[in-house]
Amino acid sequence: MKFTKLAVDPIKIPDPAPDFFTSLEKLNQKGKHKRDKSYIKILLPLAKMTKDDVVKLGKNLNVPFKWTWSCSSDGKQPCGKYSSCRKRDEAFINLSYTQPNFSL
């Protein structure tokens, strides 16, 4: 299982805190039958990266950014108001990349 927690994610939201992911792994182990030897390992491949690092990696991997967003809202498109939206915009500006318009 992979999550996209970043080095700059605020700890005030419980799900990006490292202990949250450790607890998820432990919960999965406790909820299984003793004979079940499978396990879920939670990976956080972006955990030590900044938003700039992630945008740069995405650019190198040819990620279709017009289909992605960092917004915390549950709307049909990014709101542009949350810090995650603003930090994404800042990353594109910092790297002198053109910020694509969201499009599905």
> What pLDDT was estimated at residue 2?
43
For the chain, the maximum distance between any two Cα atoms, rounded to a whole number of angstroms, is 54
Per-residue pLDDT band for 45 (boundaries 50, 70, 90) equals: confident
Say whether both 36 and 77 belong to one domain.
no
Domain final position from 25, 49, 73: 49
Place of tokens 């939206």: 85
Say whether both 99 and 83 belong to one domain.
yes
Q: What is the count of structural domains for the chain?
A: 2
Q: Which of 3, 6, 46 is nearest to 24 (CA)?
A: 3
Structural domain containing residue 38: 1-49
3-state SS, residue 43: strand
Say whether both 20 and 70 belong to one domain.
no
pTM: predicted TM-score of the whole model, two decimal places: 0.69
Say whether both 95 and 70 belong to one domain.
yes
Say whether both 37 and 67 belong to one domain.
no
> What pLDDT was estimated at residue 93?
95
